[in-house]
Chain A
Amino acid sequence: AQSVAQPEDQVNVAEGNPLTVKCTYSVSGNPYLFWYVQYPNRGLQFLLKYITGDNLVKGSYGFEAEFNKSQTSFHLKKPSALVSDSALYFCAVRIRSGGYQKVTFGTGTKLQVIP
């Protein structure tokens, strides 16, 4: 069975400071890893994904994530946080299960950027 863990329900960071939102995964096989962001009263929006190749993935709005196979992690990072980054962030993993590409989402981490 595949699973995704986001160990922090909430992360608080001061504006201008670097931020990290953690994600670890458990799959049998090669994972496809995703980060999505959800703003209040909105659907999820794609941020970035790891498919293969370079372990450092760059995405939208200045975010990046590093795939670490040995630690089975895919942490989301940004060098300098903005107040507008405050939102709910979801990590997701996807592998093929039979004929269907099952996707599993984490429980989400609320990011609060303090002015």
Chain B
Amino acid sequence: NAGVTQTPKFRILKIGQSMTLQCTQDMNHNYMYWYRQDPGMGLKLIYYSVGAGITDKGEVPNGYNVSRSTTEDFPLRLELAAPSQTSVYFCASTPGQAQETQYFGPGTRLLVL
């Protein structure tokens, strides 16, 4: 199993541009998550999904959108990039139960200038 994969690894965007961060998992996990990591701030949940077709907002959803058309894929969309969205983005997945661990992707580093 490849686990959780993310593309791209690094991207520079201009203010106002849009892009999609890709996330794929091959473990047949029901739950998937998008986090952003800022220095000294830990991880903040952007959006999560409990299964195909079901998504919900996390702590910091403004400026982002998601979709979950399949179990495997959970893309994150930035419509109008802003400097405040400069961060490292991590995708994660779990089978679904509260006691289960999260599996993280390698991250996407995004710089908005």
Q: Which of A1-45 contact B (CB under 8 A)?
A: 9, 32, 34, 36, 41-45
Chain B nearest CB from A34 CB (Å) reads 7
Inter-chain contacts of A41 with B (CB < 8 A): 106-107
Size category, B interface: 20 to 34
A-B contacts at CB below 8 angstroms, number: 53
Inter-chain contacts of A99 with B (CB < 8 A): 50
Contact with A along B33-46 (1 / 0, CB 8 A): 00000001111010
A34 to B92, CA, bound (A): 15
- Cβ of A51 and Cβ of B40 under 8 Å apart? no
- Stretch in B14-22, B62-70, B97-105 with 4+ CB within 8 Å of A: B97-105
Question: Is B56 part of the binding interface, using a Cβ–Cβ cutoff of 8 Å?
Answer: yes
Chain B nearest CB from A51 CB (Å) reads 5
Q: In terms of DSSP, what is the predominant structure of the interface of chain A?
A: strand
Chain A nearest CB from B21 CB (Å) reads 13
- Cβ of B48 and Cβ of A100 under 8 Å apart? yes
- Cβ of B43 and Cβ of A90 under 8 Å apart? yes
Inter-chain contacts of B42 with A (CB < 8 A): 90, 105-108
| A41-B106, A100-B56, A107-B40 given; 17 more Cβ-contact pairs under 8 Å | A32-B98, A32-B99, A36-B102, A43-B90, A43-B92, A43-B104, A44-B90, A44-B92, A51-B99, A90-B42, A90-B43, A94-B98, A96-B98, A100-B48, A105-B42, A106-B42, A108-B40
Please give the residue numbers on chain B whose beta carbons come within 8 Å of chain A beta carbons, in ascending order: 4, 31, 40-43, 45, 48, 50, 56, 90, 92, 97-99, 101-107
